[in-house]
Amino acid sequence: MHIHILGICGTFMGGLAALAREAGHRVTGCDAAVYPPMSDQLRELGIELVEGYDADQLALRPDLFVVGNVVSRGNALMEAILDAGAPYTSGPQWLSDHALQGRHVLAVAGTHGKTSTTSMLAWMLESAGLAPGFLVGGVPQNFGISARLGRVGLGTPFVIEADEYDTAFFDKRSKFVHYRPRTAVLNNLEHDHADIFPDLAAIETQFHHLVRTVPGQGRLIVNSRDEALQRVLERGCWSEVVHFGARKEEPGVLRARGEPHGFDVLRGSMKVGRVDWALLGEHNQLNALAAIGAAEHVGVTPELAAAALATFQNVRRRLELRGEAAGVQVYDDFAHHPTAMRTTVDGLRRKVDPARILAVFEPRSNTMKLGAMKAQLPWALEEADLSFCLQGDYGWSVREALAPLGEQAIVADSVDALVAAIVRAAQPGDHVLCMSNGGFGGIHGKLLAALAAR
């Protein structure tokens, strides 16, 4: 089959392209901006890329166009596809039909921690010799790739990051309803994606759609601390439920005893595993418990799953140290929601305290650009010693939003001005934490160069 993918350079669609190519399909694709690293990865796989969405791509005459959710009506190629009556489908639907059929799908859903937890789970299954397939919204450093088919056959495991964002312009259901998992992790649930979800209740409805697709012999692994997830289950649940994350002993619930970097895994009062690893923060401790509960459902004991984390390397852009100059360490992190920002700062604080943390943030996500969570920004950044933020064309004032932080917050109108302000403030021994779900204008390299030249 020849498929032509619209929006191929997105993490999900790029992973789908890799899976399709591995399965023997001819794959081509296009995107508005074809650039590294995804463009390099795809070309290495022999995938022909076209920049832009010109209607003349219809002449490629693929068997099927696979449409990413970045494409909307008015897109020149999409309009040509519709006018020609050419066959098309969404990325999640293609994946369901051609990669997930007959597999034991383990889906990881939640507002935060999806990528890390999916990567942990895939590594646990790999360490146990199960050779899982996976599709992750990032690049797990243990594997060096974001997607693979793994061992293919009836009932073989496939681990997938299960995103609640919508599927396509013609299918407004969340992506994850297409995956039909036998094992589903519900990690946490907050309001996000304000561009498509008006409130938390709307997202809870989508999560319940996911719950409805899990079979009676399936398993849900659910964060016991999360009230929104409890409301989701109260709407109806037909599968086994394993809870994790309780702060005190509860029968059957997976919990941690110890610090996030080294802890016992308990079920009730019984120790069932031990985690000693390089990751930081209570959020990663909870992610580990969720992955352990999911791995158990395909026969990996909690003891073996926990032990595998000793060799787990996190996903790129998760508190990733990009370099050091003039005694200042510069980190890159994907955090872009206030809760994720706060937990990321807290994780770094546990590692470097009492050294200073300079938090640097770009409000780049659609939710942040709309200003839906601007009131939470001071709370997200308050544990940093200094905070620096980029003021873009958002329609709201970052300076006003960060006013409660007083002189702790510095706002600049360009990346270069932001770099200059950080370099003026930085001292040897400081840790500069850059948070964005985009490239942030290459701020990491610019910072390291400017610090080195100081």
Quote the pLDDT of residue 183.
98
Q: What contacts 359, CB < 8 A, 6 or more positions away?
A: 341, 345, 381, 384, 386, 387, 388, 433, 435
274 DSSP β-pair partners: 264
The verdict on whether omega for the bond into residue 132 sits within 30 degrees of 0, i.e. cis, is no
- Interatomic CA distance for residues 352 and 433, integer angstroms: 12
**Is-contact 248 233, C-beta < 8 A?**
no
Strands 166-168 and 171-174 turn out to be antiparallel
Average pLDDT by consecutive 10-residue portion of the chain (454 residues)? 95 93 96 77 90 96 96 97 98 97 96 91 98 91 91 96 93 95 93 75 94 97 95 97 92 93 94 92 92 98 97 81 93 83 86 91 77 84 92 86 90 93 94 88 92 90
H or E segment to which residue 267 belongs: strand 262-267
State whether residue 184 is helix, strand or coil.
strand
DSSP string, 127-167: HTT---EEE-SS-BTTTSSSEE--S-STT-EEEEE---SEE
Cα 91-92-93 angle, rounded to 5 deg:
90
Q: Which two tokens stand for residue 334?
A: 């994907």
- Interatomic CA distance for residues 427 and 175, integer angstroms: 45
Q: Between the CA of residue 215 and those of 195, 209, 210, 229, 287, what are the distances in Å?
A: 31, 12, 11, 18, 23
- Interatomic CA distance for residues 382 and 346, integer angstroms: 10
Quote the pLDDT of residue 198.
82
- Interatomic CA distance for residues 20 and 15, integer angstroms: 9
All domains in the chain, ordered by first residue: 2-92 (3.40.50.720), 100-311 (3.40.1190.10), 320-453 (3.90.190.20)
